[in-house]
Amino acid sequence: MSAKIKCTNEPLGKAQVVSDFLPSPAELAFREEGVKVTLALSKKSIEFFKSEATKHHTQYQRMIRRLIDAYVDAQASSPLPARTLRDKTAPRR
């Protein structure tokens, strides 16, 4: 960084105004309302999330919550094919 930057008065080209797409500080501070649930997960899954959380300096519960939220967002944006409930009198395979 010993070389000095030389500024000139040359035109920069066609400039374009970009709309403000960043969320406001109030939106960033917003926390979604949480609902506590009891959920039994496999030991393998918990060990994985705890290990990854340690590597990334975060909480494993937060990682699981974000994973579920990402799944919900993906499902909400892509319509699911219509499914029918199986008739209770139909023979099972």
pTM passes above 0.85 = no
Which residues are CB-neighbours of 93 under 8 A, at least 6 positions away? none
Average pLDDT over residues 40-65: 95
- pLDDT category of residue 31 using cuts at 50, 70 and 90: confident
Residue 22: C-alpha distances to residues 7, 15, 55, 68 (Å): 30, 20, 29, 24
- Higher pLDDT: 58 or 28? It is 58
34 SS3 class? coil
Residue 77 pLDDT exceeds 90 = no
